[in-house]
Structure 1
Amino acid sequence: MSSFVIKGKKSLNGNVEVSGAKNEVLKLIPLSLILSKPISIDNSPEIEDVKKQLELLRLLGGEYQFEGSQLRLNSQNITNFTLNRELSTKLRASIVYTGPLLSRFKRANIFCPGGCAIGLRSIDSHLDAFRQCGVEISHEANGSYFLEAKKNEGEVSIQMAEKSVTATENIILYLAKSSLVATISNFAREPEVMDLIRIINLAGGRINENSDGFLRIEGVEDLSVERVSALPDRIEAGTFALAIALTGGSGTVSPYIEKDLRSFTKVIRDCNVNISVKDDVAYIEKSDDIKPFVIETAPYPGFPTDLQSPMSLLAAKANGKSIIREKMFDNRLGYLKQLQKMGLKVEMVGPNEAQIFGPTDFVSCNVESPDLRSGITLLIAALMAQGESIIEKAQIIDRGYEKVEQKLNNLGAQIIRREDAV
């Protein structure tokens, strides 16, 4: 267990380099199970969630090496199709091993995944998609799910129950190396999903979107690619851009891929955040007279749910009432109770809508990080506040942000990590 001790009223100035996309690398690791040769992944962040995913790979029988930001994977000797229960229940992305295990062994034994406490996130959409591919599923007495592929050739049509990123990736990883031809509708289109498709096609896959907007997958016998690079983490890019603006600083964030952050960038520009983007570099200047806003989270290309929580801080700087509607996950606004301790003025309209009244000057406080995205929001709020704040359970932030205190301290923050007695 660890805590962050933060001295407030520190403006952030300078240049910050964005790490590789957590939500892509977590899926590229299971991809290695369906490749016929080892793979190297450049721009891989060395964060806690990636470490857990790699440990799951090792327990299956795979091998890995981390050198700087390059991750080398070798899954050639894996013979086990059962995921480790303890680790699976601590990591949401563990569910994405299901597709590759089914593809390789025609069987998979999995457990319900864990992750951030941000509302109910069942695996029903995953199981439903697999059933539409002819996979038989049983719920075992020990709480695991046993899946067995029964349909080994022919065509299948899959209607995704929801635009779930992980369910879309899971079914793609199952079908890419198979004897099936599949048509998928209502699939997720997040940049990380589309880049996974690009990498599979680079390895010899046959996946494309047809003129009707359906995803068509023709399974192939062999997939192999030696080296790829993960996208920059768009959520980290947006978070750091906001952090600089919220603390009254100026600086650059790179890489900042504007097409992947179009909805977010438009909203903050409309709020008078002084941001411009050129050649994948975001330039942020001191921003005054912030305007209130209304946002509603949605699947890509809508407003990303993972950037919803730091927007509450922009609402606190705005002159007037802002509204945040969380449409992706139930009860993801629970972190606002922590911000209320720091002075946030908020009224809840049910569990998934908040009205925030600004402007507000935050005060220092001891708070606890409830989940990954809320944790980084509390950290930025502490930088905005007067005095010294403490954020407990800092290790939760480590799950998704690489060297976060080092990056922020390089911009002028004063953050000390304190290891707490268990």
Structure 2
Amino acid sequence: MSDTVSIIGGKPLIGTVTPIPNKNSLIPALPAALLTDQPVVYHHVPATSDVEKILEILKLLGVKVTRQLDTVTLQAKNLKTHKVDRQLGEQFRGSLMFAGPLLARLGKAQIPLPGGCLLGFRSITTHLDAFKAAGVKIKLADNHVILTAPKKPSPHLRIWQMEASVTATENLLMYLSGLSTQTELIEAACEPHVTDLENLLVNMGAKIQGIGSNRLVIKGSPKLNGAQFTPSPDFVDIAGYMVAAGITDGRITIKNANLPDIVDGLIRWMSAFGIKVTRQNKDLVVSLNKHGLALDPESNLPLSAPQLPKLSPRPWPGFPVDVIPVMATLASKTKGRLLLQNWMYENGFEFVRELNSLGADIFISDPQRLIITGPVTFKGGEVSPPSVIQATKAIFLAALADPVTTTIHGVDILRRRYPDIFSVYRQLGASITTV
């Protein structure tokens, strides 16, 4: 795919889409196959660049990888090393997710310090703190983290995480599921992708109480079995289609997205902006309401000041941080003002410079707070968003809103989460040309 696209906006997006599988479900679920020597079968596996890297790392560890269309079978019967390949592992943060299962299976893991989206100081401290609480010894050397499991794990553990980190929770879950230890885990993350992993581990033979909550009781086993896994739909992708329908005055049917435990919070917020979401059996139908996009300051929205509603991310079931960037685009097309916050990432709003250059009216209060005034008419132009998936997605959606031409450089990063994004939006009526 070309790294630059030219978009002519202003076309109502109309049609039916199927959201991609949750990428953040697969990133821990694929390494979980290391916990057993039996086959684990994964369905609806997209060909994203992150998935391809994980499969390549698994092959280098000695895992047999079989792929037929979007079904992947992994069998870790003959593991040959506890070391994650340095060249691949440094490219993305998903390589961290090999620590837990390698520790449980081999007693040791060596992981290169990872990269990924440029979202500020995304420390691995939460992972290391969680493993230390479980008795794991940790050493940093030559840009690697080397973890060694205790020879005799404690039969009972009680671990209170410093924060509800998604990936730290997932990593620890995989490690504990491969031990005979019984663990009470408090301040666990409970996002849908964490729940997906918990259900996979249960199907493999672990016992987990409190699935979907922030307090878990895990009783693992060194002898786990094979299982089947199907990731849930990506709620970030679903939110993107909601915003796209709203800002283009379109009508998009999102297949199999009527999942109350996943989408109800998103629907409440979208309706506050004037987006109408109708449930039709298993599907959602998204369009504008009769009043168009408008924030009502007299509604029940949280307020930061009189006439100034606010939106900020929170751990699940609060508003997802990965949806915050596209909400800046939505707010720019919505009548009213909004205080938008992103306290989770120091550099989460760097893309706002590009959004303002396209015609947005966004006051940057500080690196983590914006005051957005709308509606604006985007004027098009040429932009290079920061190398962050959802930041690039926010610019991409802005380019679709008004009848102007926008050239966006650096769009290849979208493939890490959305391998077919441009063909899907073309089918909805978008005018997108690769340059």
**TM-score of the alignment, normalized to the shorter chain, above 0.5:** yes
Alignment of 1:310-325 (within 5 A): 310-325=326-341
Of 123-132 and 240-249, deviating more is 240-249
CA deviation after TM superposition for structure 1 residue 26, in Å: 1.1
What does residue 145 of structure 1 align with?
Answer: 145
CA contact (8 A) 2:200 2:227 kept: no
**Native 8 Å contact 2:37 2:75 kept in 1:** no
8 Å contact from structure 1 (residues 263, 302) kept in 2: yes
Identity rate, percent: 28
Is the counterpart of residue 308 in structure 1 residue 311 in structure 2? no
- Among 255, 260, 263, the alignment partner of 1:261 is 263
- Tell me what 1:128 maps to: 129
Matches within 5 A, 1:20-419: 20-140=21-141, 142-150=142-150, 151-209=152-210, 214-256=215-257, 257-287=259-289, 288-292=291-295, 293-370=309-386, 371-418=388-435
Aligned residues, how many? 416
TM-score, length of structure 1 as denominator length: 0.95
Distance 1:279 1:328, change over 3 A: farther
SS in 1 for 2:5: strand
Asked if the contact 1:21–1:45 (Cα under 8 Å) also holds between the matched residues in 2, the reply is no
Provide the rounded CA distance (Å) in 1 between the counterparts of 2:226 and 2:282. 26
| In 2, Cα distance between equivalents of 1:213 and 1:338 | 37
Where structure 2 has 5 or more consecutive residues not aligned to the other structure, the ranges are 296-308
User: Does the 8 A contact of 2:6 with 2:408 survive in 1?
Assistant: yes
Unaligned runs of 5+ in 1: none
1:258 touches 1:280 (CA, 8 Å); kept in 2? Answer: no
Give the structure 1 partner of residue 302 of structure 2: none
In 2, the alpha carbon distance for the partners of 1:17 and 1:45 equals 12
Task: Give the letter aligned to residue 208 of structure 1.
Answer: Q
Partners in 2 of 1:192 and 1:11 — Cα distance?
32
CA RMSD of aligned residues (A): 1.6
Separation (CA, whole Å) in 2 of partners of 1:68 and 1:380: 30
Q: Give the direction of change, closer, same or farther, for the CA distance of 1:2–1:65 in structure 2 (3 Å limit).
A: farther
Tell me if the contact between 1:295 and 1:323 (Cα under 8 Å) persists in the aligned partners: yes
Task: Letter of the 2:4 partner, please give it.
Answer: S
C-alpha distance after superposition, 1:200-259 (max 9, x if no partner): 11111111129x963111121322234221111111111112112211111201221232
Q: Distance in 2 between matches of 1:259 and 1:157?
A: 28
Structure 1 residues 78-107: Cα deviation after superposition (integer angstroms, max 9, x where no partner): 221111122222111111100001001111
- Residues in 2 aligned to 1:378 and 1:280: alpha-carbon distance in whole angstroms: 30
**Match of 2:284, SS?**
strand
Partner of 2:301: none
CA distance in 2, matches of 1:204, 1:94: 24
**Aligned AA for 1:259?**
D
1 CA distance for matches of 2:53 and 2:398? 29
Q: 1:36 to 1:61 in 2, by over 3 A?
A: closer
Give the residue type in structure 2 aligned to 1:395: D
Q: Distance in 1 between matches of 2:67 and 2:375?
A: 45
Asked if the contact 1:18/1:233 (under 8 Å) is kept, the reply is yes
Query: What is the CA deviation profile of residues 1-51 of structure 1, one whole-angstrom value per residue up to 9, with x for unaligned ones?
Result: 621121221211000111211000111110010022111111112111111
How far off its partner does 1:65 sit?
2.9
SS at match of 1:173: helix
Distance 2:404 2:196 in 1: 43
Distance 1:237 1:173, change over 3 A: same
CA contact (8 A) 2:190 2:214 kept: no
Name the amino acid aligned to 2:286: I
Q: For residues 222 and 147 of structure 2, what CA distance do their matches in structure 1 show?
A: 21
